[in-house]
Structure 1
């Protein structure tokens, strides 16, 4: 299915779950979203309205669909190897802007984006040296890379008239891995994210410094809950997967009876 349809649907579903939580009196102390999830985080923190968030996601998806038709690239997960080693190999390949870091998800879970042939060379290098494992992701383009710079520039122009507000709670951004409060900075980082890495491991380090005792993963899936544990959120941090109405009910039951 096209990103122009999937992305606004995912954001709308996540915002629906958030509304149920809010109606039950559960509100966040800090928010962070991974890649597309950052747009949901904008609404959760009050930077944009729910309607604006869905519109932003739809435009993002539309531009990404168009970009995917103009380049021969994808993304590849790199497992059981450190970020330092990945960056060393990328430097030795000497193909700047052709194969780049896309996600730093966890200490041993990296994602790179780039040209298909270069990704194959990268995977062969990893396999030959017995450094880790690689697998291409089922995505339609090399997201979070300079390959889609044109889409990012169009996204920036399109988003210019939208009024971003100061967040009501700390909003940790993917590109800086720290809370950002200035609306202009937030808008820049949300659009810049199309061609910039998602520093998720670093975002989780920031969350840990805030002494969070409860984490709610809101939206389809449960990958981020697993990454939270891998990134060192200890067992004394409660984790809830709010990916369906049962998840909403479980979170509400646990948090309102505490």
Structure 2
């Protein structure tokens, strides 16, 4: 069986995420305990990670500068639970933010580095979005070419472009609010089934994130990245890094260009993946897998979502390894 780990991205966070895992698995708790603190270095967390994830008393978890390190800590922690049980995927990928947890799984980042770099990334993205009336809207049931023309027609009102190719029939546009809303209007007139505004705090994966890309480029330039031990499929490529571009370049590019999740899923099916394991809050990626499989006519595959301690114990691979370790 060929397995891929898919890491959840921003938008599925919720109060209480990771709490039962922290209480149940020591290796998960170690991730949280390690990155908490007030050390004065770029990217160091200046808030209580546990309190933010488990309680979110002030309703700040949805703010991108907090969402990103919190989601990454949960995603990375789950990876360590599975790793401790002897489980290792054949391929990894993640949706936008989730790409950093995928890179940790592959050995490029340490757990601490993954959390801290996404804390910095979240801060940089929030800074880039400040003062810009931005928006993102999911557009269902419209071809990419037609939606691209809708964006071109609306561009007289500001920057707007396709930001995500999630799965067959689901695209996301982003940019300046007036232009995005006008493009969505054109999309509905062109036959889109639905246009759904997304609860995000900025026009992510558009050219408006260029200032954040510059900051991230400088930050990553001061890091020594580990060698990749597991193949990663990158958002901005929709594929593996076949041309040998630097990971730093790909992560900077990812901030301000289209996330090609559908292309990644198509490639994973082409590589023979038959088991897709979504790691982190929510089941959005599982839905993307199923829609892509339907489009391709693929039936021989399985999906699993791992977010809670119960999910860990229910996952067959995890159970098998746990039983084997007791023999």
Q: TM > 0.5 between the two?
A: yes
| Corresponding residue of 2:293 | 232
Q: 1:250 aligns with which of 303, 309, 314?
A: 314
Structure 1's 17 and 221: CA in aligned 2 closer, same or farther, altered over 3 A?
A: same
Q: Unmatched 5+ residue regions in structure 1? A: none
Counterparts in 2 of 1:256 and 1:156: CA distance versus 1, 3 Å: same
Contact 2:146 2:190 (C-alpha < 8 Å) held by counterparts: no
Q: 1:221, 1:243 within 8 Å by CA — same for their partners in 2?
A: yes
**2:158 touches 2:176 (CA, 8 Å); kept in 1?**
no
CA deviation after TM superposition for structure 1 residue 237, in Å: 1.2
Structure 1 residues 45 and 181: CA distance shift in structure 2, 3 A: farther
- Structure whose CA Rg is larger: 2
How far apart, CA to CA, are the structure 2 residues paired with 1:92 and 1:160? 38
Deviations 1:76-127, CA, capped at 9 Å, x for gaps: 1001111122113223445597001100011210000011111221122223
Given candidates 178, 192, 213, the residue that maps to 1:152 is 213
1:140 equivalent among 183, 201, 221 = 201
CA distance in 2, matches of 1:111, 1:129: 16
SS at match of 1:231: helix
Contact 1:104 1:200 in 2 (8 A): yes
Counterparts of 2:261 and 2:105, CA distance in 1: 18
| Alignment-derived partner of residue 131 in structure 1 | 192
Aligned length in residues: 258
Normalised to the residue count of structure 2, the TM-score between the two structures is 0.74
Please say if residues 168 and 262 of structure 2, whose CA atoms lie closer than 8 Å, have aligned partners that are also in contact.
yes
**C-alpha deviation, 1:42, in angstroms:** 0.7
Q: Could you tell which deviates more after superposition, 212-221 or 230-239?
A: 230-239
Q: CA 1:242–1:26 in structure 2 vs 1: closer, same or farther (change >3 Å)?
A: same
Structure 2: stretches of 5+ with no match in the other structure: 1-59
CA distance in 2, matches of 1:125, 1:19: 46
Give the superposed CA RMSD. Answer: 2.1
How far off is 1:31 after superposition? 0.4
Secondary structure class of the residue paired with 1:166: coil
Three-state SS of the structure 1 residue aligned to 2:224 is: coil
State the 1:204 CA deviation. 0.6
Q: What pairs with 1:50-199 in structure 2 (closer than 5 Å)?
A: 50-95=111-156, 98-180=159-241, 185-199=246-260
| Contact 1:75–1:112 (CA under 8 A) maintained in structure 2 | yes
Post-superposition offset of 1:34: 0.5
